[in-house]
Structure 1
Amino acid sequence: MVNTVPAVVIAAPASGSGKTTLATGLIGALAAAGSRVAPFKVGPDYIDPGYHGLAAGRPGRNLDPVLVGADRVVPLYNHGARGCDIAVVEGVMGLFDGRIDSSVSGPAAEGSTAHVAALLGAPVILVVDARGHSQSLAATLHGFATYDSSVRLGGVILNRVGSERHEEVLRDAAARVGLPVLGALPRMVELAVPSRHLGLIPAVEHGAAALDAVDAMTKLVAAHVDLSAVVRMANASAAGPAWDPAEAIGTAATGSPIVALAGGPAFTFGYAEHRELLEAAGAQVVAFDPLRDSLPPETAGVVLPGGFPEEHAPALSSNEPLLEEIRRLADRGAPIHAECAGLLYLARSLDGHTMAGVVAADAFFGPTLTLGYRDAVAVRDSVLWAAGERVRGHEFHRTKLHPCAVDESLDSLKAHGSAWGWRAGSRSSQEGFVGRGVHASYLHTHPAGNPGAIARFVAACAGG
C-alpha cells in the first residue's frame, strides 16, 4: 500500500467554462509556491496534459475508466502522483458527462469527471462561467451539489466575472447553498490559446507561445484564487498500490530491441505509460521526429502515435529518406504500430502529399468529426493482438481514407486486412489494416489497459 497523495478535481457544469485555464493555472501557481504537483486529465484527451506538463514540470497523465478499467484508475493515479505533494485533476466536459451506456447505473456516466472523483475520493471544485449568471447561480450549485451523493462538491471558482458588484452577487448566491468561493477570475480574453479542429493546438507545436500562455494562466490563478484554501481542501481517500509497468508486463523480452517512437509536432498524441511499458517489456526506446530525422540505427520496430500530420503533410512528405526507411521496414515484416496519425503517415498520400505507401489508401482531411469510444474486437492476428481479443478504444479525427491499389513495390503487403470490428447501434463496421508486421488503425488505445499488447509487440521486435 502507498499513502495516497491529496488531490482536487477541477470540473464544470459544461464544456467551455474555463477548466483548462483554471487547472493549468492552478498547477503552475502551486508549483511556483513550492509544491510538487502531479497533473492529471480525465478522459482520452492528449492536448490538455501537454499544457499541464509545462506548468508542473513533469508529464501530464490521463485517468480514463473507460479505456483502462475503473480498477486501474487509483493505481495509475498513485503511480503518476508518486513523490508529489498534491495532484490537480482536470475534468472532461460537464461534471456528470461521460460515455452513454445503458448498462451503467447511477447518476454519473462511465468515464465522467464525477466517476473519477468518486473513485479517488477527491473533492470537486466547480468552475462556473459567470457570464449571464446572477442570483440563480444558487439553484445551479444546489443541483450539482446534491445530484450524486458519491461526489463531494467542495467549492466554486467563478470565471469571467464582469465587475466587483457581479462578484458580490455571485458570492452571495454560493453562500446560500453553503459552498465557499475559492476564487473569482475577471474576463481575460487575451489568455485564449489558439485552437484548431480537434481542440487546442498542442503545446509542443505552440512552442514559446505555449510557455507564455501557461505563464499567464499561472499568474492569473495566483492572483485571484485562494491557494491555501485549495490545499486545505485537497484529499484522496481511495488508498491502494501504485501501478507498476514491470508488474503489468511480467516477463520482458531479451536482447533490448530498439523501438523508434515518433514524436515532434506532427505526432503529439501519446500516453506517458506507453514508453514506460515498452521499456518494461525490454525495449530500448529512441524518440525521433519524422519531420526531420531518420530512424535510429538498428531499429527493430516503430511506433507511430496520433497527432496532426495533416498540419505538417508537406514537411513529412519532403523527408523522403525516412519514408523509404519505413517502406523497407514494412516490406521485411518489421513490427510497426500506427494509431490515427500513424495510419495517415503509412497511407499512400495525405491531402495529395506522398506518404510511406505502406497502407493501400489515400487520406483526405474532411468536414466531419468522427468521435467516440469503441468496443472493438481484433479481426485477425497481429503483432499486438490475437484474433478475437476485445479492446476498448477511442476515435478522434476529421480525415477519411479512400482505398487504392497497392504499389507493386509493396506487393508483399497486399494481404492487408481490417484490424478491428465493432458495432454502432445496428450498424457494424470494420476499420484499420493488418499485414505482416503492420498494425495501423484510427483507434486510439491506452497501453495501461492493454499491457499484453505491448509485451507482444516488443517480443516481435526481439524476434520472439
Structure 2
Amino acid sequence: MVVPRLVIAAPSSGSGKTTVATGLMAALRARGLRVSPHKVGPDYIDPGYHALATGRPGRNLDPWLVGEDLVAPLFAHGAAGCDVAVVEGVMGLFDGRAETDFASTAHVARLLEAPVVLVVDAARQSRSVAAVVHGFATFDPRVTVGGVVLNRVGSDRHEELCRAALAEAGVPVLGAIRRDDAVATPSRHLGLIPAAEREVEAVRAVDRLAALVSRSCDLDALVRLAASAPPLTATPWSPGRVKQSRAVVAVAGGAAFTFGYAEHVELLRAAGADVAVFDPLRDERLPEGAGALVIGGGFPEVYAAELAANEPLREQVAAFPGPIAAECAGLLYLCQELDGRRMCGRIPGTARMTDRLTLGYRDAVALKDSLLTRRGERQRGHEFHRTAVQLDAEPLYQCTDGYGDPLVTASYLHLHWAGTPQAAQRLVSSSRSPSVLR
C-alpha cells in the first residue's frame, strides 16, 4: 500500500505542532489532495480540528491503547483512498510512557516508517536552533528527521540566521512562520476548546491556519518528503463485516460530549447496531428505539447548568432499562450530582471539579464483572480530568474510580475499542438481551 505520509513533531509541547499540522492538512486539501488526518496519543481535541481541515474523521494512533501491531493497520484503514497522510505528534518527539519512548511520536514514526518534520520554536534563539535540531536528528537513527519548520520567527534577519545555521547542520528548512497572534486557538483547563463548541469560529480558525502555512511553508517540498516514505506493508484494520442491524445504540454528542474515537462507531455498526447521536444539552428524549447508550468524554462541568436543566432527558437516562457504557464525562453525567447540580442519578455518587489534574496511561484490572468488564480482565486506557467522584459502591478497577453492574460500566478510563473489540460486542449483545452478560 503506497501512502505518502509525514509526521509533524516538535522538541516539546507548545512549539506549534497543531498549528503546522492542521494548517498543512487544510492547505493540502485546498490543493485538491485527499488528506488523511491522524494524531499520536489519546488526544480527542486536535482530531476535531483535523476533521474540519480535511473533511475526514480525525483518527488516533496509540501503541499503548491498541498495541504496537495495530498502529500501522489502523493508519492504513484511515488513509485508504487518500493522496497523503499527515500525522500530528504528541508532546516532544521522544516523550513516551514513563522513562521510555513507548507510545511517543518517535515510536509511531518508526512503526509507520514515516519521515518527521520537526517544528521548532525559534523565538529567543538563532544559531542554537541548529544544535537543537542536530540533537533530535541524531538521537535515534531509526527516526528520519527530513526537515524543519521554524515557528515564531521574528524578522527577516532572524530567519536568515536560523537558515544559515541549519544549512550547516544539513537539515532542510521547509518553512518559516512569523509570530502571529491572530491564529491562536482559545484554550481551557484541559487544552484547546473543542472545535464542536466553536463551530463557525473553528472553521475560520482552520482557514487562517491554512493560509498561514500556505504562505510560510514549501508545500511542494513537504509533499515530496511525504512521498519518500516506503510502501506500507500493513493490512488495513477492519472493524468486521457490518451485520444486519439488531439494535439501536444511542451515542451522546453535542458540545458537552465531544470525546470519542471514530473506530467506536465503526465497531458498533459491525456488531449489528444502528448508531443514533443525541445531544444531552438539547434533546429531551433519547433516540427512538434506543437499546443501549454510550456516553463518552467531554466537558460536562462547563455545561452542568444546562445538563441539569434538561430534566426530561435526565429522567429518561435514570430510568433507562438497557446497557450504558460511560467514560469520564459520562461517569459524571450518570452521578447524582455534579458541583451541586442534579445529574441523572443512574449511579450512586457525586462529582465535583477540583484544582488537581489527573493524567496518564492506566493498566487497569477489573475487580468485578460489569457490562464491559469481567473480573480479572486487563484493559489499557487513559485518564485525563480535573474532577473527583465519591461513589457509594465497590470499585470497578484497582487504579481509577469507576462503577459497574450488569448493565453499566462507568469510569474515568478512556478506552480505544480497537484495542478492546469485545466492548462493542458486549454492548450490542446486551442491548438485545439486557439481562444476560455475554
TM-score norm. by structure 1 comes to 0.91
Aligned position for 1:53: 51
Aligned position for 1:126: 118
Query: In structure 2, what is the Cα distance between the partners aligned to 1:396 and 1:82?
Result: 31
Aligned position for 1:32: 30
Aligned residues, how many? Answer: 431
Aligned position for 1:7: 5
Aligned position for 1:284: 274
CA distances 1:129-173 after superposition (whole Å, capped 9, x unpaired): 010111121211111110001100000000010000000000011
Q: Equivalent residue of 2:319, what SS?
A: helix
Aligned position for 2:103: 111
Work out whether 1:182 is the aligned partner of 2:174. yes
One-letter identity of the residue aligned with 1:374 = R
Work out whether 1:344 is the aligned partner of 2:338. no
Query: In structure 1, what is the Cα distance between the partners aligned to 2:335 and 2:128?
Result: 53
Aligned position for 1:150: 142
Query: In structure 2, what is the Cα distance between the partners aligned to 1:280 and 1:15?
Result: 37
Q: Equivalent residue of 1:246, what SS?
A: coil
Q: Equivalent residue of 1:190, what SS?
A: helix
One-letter identity of the residue aligned with 2:315 = E
Query: In structure 1, what is the Cα distance between the partners aligned to 2:188 and 2:143?
Result: 33
CA contact (8 A) 1:255 1:462 kept: no
Aligned position for 1:371: 359
Aligned position for 1:319: 310
One-letter identity of the residue aligned with 2:431 = C
CA contact (8 A) 1:4 1:78 kept: no
CA distances 1:382-430 after superposition (whole Å, capped 9, x unpaired): 22121111111000000011346xxxxxxxxxxx4322113xxxxxxx5
Work out whether 1:380 is the aligned partner of 2:372. no
Q: Equivalent residue of 1:445, what SS?
A: coil
Aligned position for 1:272: 262
420, 425, 433: which one aligns with 1:450: 420
Query: In structure 1, what is the Cα distance between the partners aligned to 2:371 and 2:356?
Result: 31
Query: In structure 2, what is the Cα distance between the partners aligned to 1:22 and 1:123?
Result: 15
214, 230, 237: which one aligns with 1:243: 237
- Give the drift of 1:255: 5.6
Write the mapping of 1:198-217 to structure 2, written as runs, cut at 5 A.
Answer: 198-217=190-209
One-letter identity of the residue aligned with 1:9 = V
CA distances 1:426-446 after superposition (whole Å, capped 9, x unpaired): xxxx52001230111001010
CA contact (8 A) 2:371 2:405 kept: no
Query: In structure 2, what is the Cα distance between the partners aligned to 1:420 and 1:454?
Result: 19
- Unmatched segments (≥5 aa) in structure 2: none
Q: Equivalent residue of 1:259, what SS?
A: strand
Aligned position for 1:65: 63
Work out whether 1:230 is the aligned partner of 2:231. no
CA contact (8 A) 1:417 1:435 kept: no
TM-score norm. by structure 2 comes to 0.96
Work out whether 1:398 is the aligned partner of 2:402. no
- Give the drift of 1:362: 1.2
Query: In structure 2, what is the Cα distance between the partners aligned to 1:136 and 1:291?
Result: 50
CA pair 242-277 structure 1, distance change in 2 beyond 3 A: same
Query: In structure 2, what is the Cα distance between the partners aligned to 1:120 and 1:444?
Result: 24
Query: In structure 2, what is the Cα distance between the partners aligned to 1:370 and 1:71?
Result: 28
Aligned position for 1:361: 349
One-letter identity of the residue aligned with 2:97 = R
Aligned position for 1:410: none
Work out whether 1:307 is the aligned partner of 2:271. no
Q: Equivalent residue of 2:358, what SS?
A: strand
One-letter identity of the residue aligned with 1:371 = L
Q: CA RMSD in A?
A: 1.3
- Unmatched segments (≥5 aa) in structure 1: 405-415, 423-429
